[in-house]
Each structure stands twice: as structure tokens, then as C-alpha cells.
Amino acid sequence: MPHGPRPFAVTVNWNRADDTLECVRSLLQGNPGTEVLVVDNGSQDGSVPLIRERYPGLEVLENAQNIGYVKGANQGIRRALELGATHVLLINNDAVAHEGMVGELLAAMGRHPTAGIVGPRIFYYGTDVMWFNGGHFNHVLGLSTHPLMDRKGDGDAEDREVGFITGCAMLVKAEVFREVGLFDEAFEIYTEDLDLCLRAKEQGYGVWLVPKAVAEHKVSMSTGVGGTNLMTPYRSYYYARNMLLMVRKRERGVRFATCFLGQTFILLPYYFLLMGVQGTKGSFRQYVRGYLHALADIVEGRA
């Protein structure tokens, strides 16, 4: 007798117990049948005992120090697969799943048999303004975008194939991780989701947005200014570094040359102007620093 799906949700916590508890609650109460696993990255705010007190029996993987987001997520994925997960939902601890979100994502997997990664439409927390409505990647210029970001819902409820799904909330078939591998830990944070989706596509898996599945995102609670897309110095460094490393990993020859030009003559000026408008101190310096670090890795053969 065939068994049904066994989805596991994996979230990584670092000193944000309240956000993590709200995320876990949205999964356990609004998405029955979803098993939840929390990876704690050396929190010093009492997160682990609080989570265990609130949810006895919930599996918490406790790290002695902050090992970084991607390594923490991979740790959780490995454990979920060991426990028999058929699907793994990666969800940021500052995201909240709407009721039935996981079921909608699983149903979409059934509608699209080749789908390997699916994700919900994501709104800014407590608003009707979209933060994510499917991602696009331009292979010629090496640019990734979130079309319709910062707009209200477009009313389109039909599933559609997209370039990538954000790691803020993505449901991945277990077989995808087994076939194409886990997140690339060289990225540390940011871009690992785009890279995974591109690898899955190369192996014939579909990547789909499921608008009927909905989540909310508090945005940048751990890495920036909560509730905004402000280009902080921390974010700026990894945006520049990781996108350049990612196109080096994915593209070769003329395609890499055009992507390199896109990173240099489109993205760099764009972020220069954006940071000027936002008035973020030190961000452009960190963007250039990340860009130069990636360039050094490429020139010296480390990437």
C-alpha cells in the first residue's frame, strides 16, 4: 500500500525566538501533517529552551556557534532526509505560512509531475503587497529579478513555471536533493536558492510558482533592517560576491563574458544609485569589496 507524502519544514534560527515561534506555529497549526525541524545557530537569547518549552518533542538541532545560514539549512535538510522526508520545505524563520500553504504546494507537485521545486506567492508581513511572485534569471546578462515585487496581488491564481523560487519558502522533492545535491555552501547566504533551482532545471526538473499557496515575510530580520529591502553593508557584500561567483559557476566562454559585463556595467551602477537613494552608509564600499573578493577567487582559480 503506497504511503502519502511526508513533508518536513526546516527553518534556521539565530537569536530570533519570537519570529521562529510564530513561523513554527503557522506550520503546525495551519498546515497539519507537516513535521517541523529547527536548526539553531548558536543563539544567545534563550531561543532553544523557549522553543522546546513551547513545543515539546519538536526536533531542534543545536549548534554551539553560528555556522551560517546555508550550512545550517543543509544540516536540517540532511536530518529531514534521514527521518524519511519525501519533501523538504525550506522556510525563513521570519516567514509565516498561511493556512493550507503546504497542501497547496504538494497538490501542485501532483499537477506537474516533473516539478522538483515549487513555492508560494509571498507578501510583506501584514500587507497585501507582494514581496515575491516568481523569480527570473537572465542567462545572457547574469541578472536575477523578482517581477511584480512591491505591487499588490495581480489576481492570477494559475500555477506557472518560473526561473527560480526564493529560499524564503520553497518546497523541494527529496529526490532533487539526492540527485543534484544540497545548497552550495560556498555562497554562505543569498543566491544559494537560485543556484539550486538552476541545477534542478539542468536535470530536467520543473520550477513552479503556486499563487494559491501564500506566505508572508517580515524581510531582513536577521540580515538588514526588518520589513525593508534596504541594502545594508552586510547584504551588499554578499549580493555582489555571490552573484559573480554564481555566474562563474554556471556559465563559461562567451556567456560568462556577457554575464561578467552585466554584473559590472549594469548591476554595479544600479546598486550605486540605489544605495545613494537609500542613504546607506558603507554599503557601496562593501558591495565593491564583495565584487573584488569574487573576482580574486575567479582569477586565482578558486571559483
Read off φ and ψ for residue 192, nearest 5 degrees: -65, -30
Question: Tell me, what's the pLDDT at 79?
Answer: 98
- pLDDT tens-digit map of 162-186: 999 999 999 999 999 999 999 999 9
The closest alpha carbon to 174, from 265, 282, 83, belongs to 83
CA distance 220 to 94: 8
Question: Tell me, what's the pLDDT at 17?
Answer: 95
Question: Tell me, what's the pLDDT at 1?
Answer: 32
Question: Tell me, what's the pLDDT at 280?
Answer: 84
The closest alpha carbon to 104, from 214, 205, 208, 23, belongs to 214
Residues with Cβ < 8 Å from 2, sequence gap 6 or more? none
Question: Tell me, what's the pLDDT at 220?
Answer: 57
pTM: 0.92
The closest alpha carbon to 66, from 75, 57, 54, belongs to 75
Q: Provide the H-helix boundaries in 172-267.
A: 174-180, 192-202, 233-250, 253-262
CB–CB of 65/41 below 8 Å? Answer: yes
Q: Which three cell numbers stand for residue 285?
A: 564600499
Cα of 15 vs its chain's centroid, Å: 19
The closest alpha carbon to 79, from 167, 11, 2, belongs to 11
Which fold, 7-217? Spore Coat Polysaccharide Biosynthesis Protein SpsA; Chain A (3.90.550)
In this structure, what is the dihedral angle of CA atoms 290, 192, 36, 48, given to the nearest 10 degrees? -20
107-114's contacts with Cβ under 8 Å and 24+ in sequence apart are 108/159, 108/208, 108/210, 108/213, 109/5, 109/171, 109/173, 111/159, 112/159, 112/206, 112/208, 114/204, 114/205, 114/206
Q: In which residue ranges of the chain is pLDDT below 50?
A: 1-2, 221-224, 226-227
Q: Where are the domains of the chain?
A: 7-217, 233-299
